[in-house]
Amino acid sequence: MAAGGEKIDYVFKVVLIGDSAVGKSQILARFARNEFSLDSKATIGVEFQTRTLVIQHKSVKAQIWDTAGQERYRAVTSAYYRGAVGALLVYDITKRQTFDHIPRWLEELRSHADKNIVIMLVGNKTDLEDQRAVTTEDASEFAQKENLFFLETSALEATNVETAFETVLTEIFTIVN
């Protein structure tokens, strides 16, 4: 039983990965608390936040893990990935390098996580369209090739953040049912 006395049918662990400063913590803040901060500090210590959603009349608690400023290559530990059934693989649409690093993150994710993990490629900061350095087509093509879901988001404007998590959680729900 949760604090409110409501029944939780499922708990799904979802991890956020991607280079530093792409907006992982703000995506999580938007989803978990509907908050956003433009001067967010680098995350310290591994942390997760939860939010409970109803999917097909069942209550699903999403436990979303955020990296602790360990975004250097191979610095994220296997404990972080353990038990994860979903992942948001995030890059910044205004920073080409963060997209170029996605294959590494994907490889690391696939080597540590469950083979059935549901992965969403997320291009964040669409509110900065005038600074765009990664086309939607390039990312979409990569996602298709690698069998990933794909969405572009803005944590600042709250665009597609909800949809990104809902898509991943619904897909996980479908797989376990």
**Neighbouring residues of 96: CB distance < 8 A, sequence distance ≥ 6:** 133, 134
Cβ burial 115-141 (10 Å sphere, 16+ → b, else e): eebbbbbbbbbbbeeeeeebeeeebbe
Residue 49 touches which of Mg ion, ligand GDP, none (Cβ within 5-8 Å per kind): none
Pick from 9, 11, 32, 40: which binds ligand GDP (CB under 6 A)?
A: 40
> Strand, helix or coil at 28?
helix
CB of 119 to Mg ion, least distance (A): 19
CB of 159 to ligand GDP, least distance (A): 8
CB of 124 to ligand GDP, least distance (A): 5
Nearer to Mg ion (CB atom), residue 13 or residue 24: 24
Cβ distance 91 to 134 under 8 Å?
Answer: yes
Residues of this chain, 128-157, that bind ligand GDP according to CB under 6 A: 128, 154-156
Interface ranges with Mg ion (CB under 5 A)? 24-25, 43
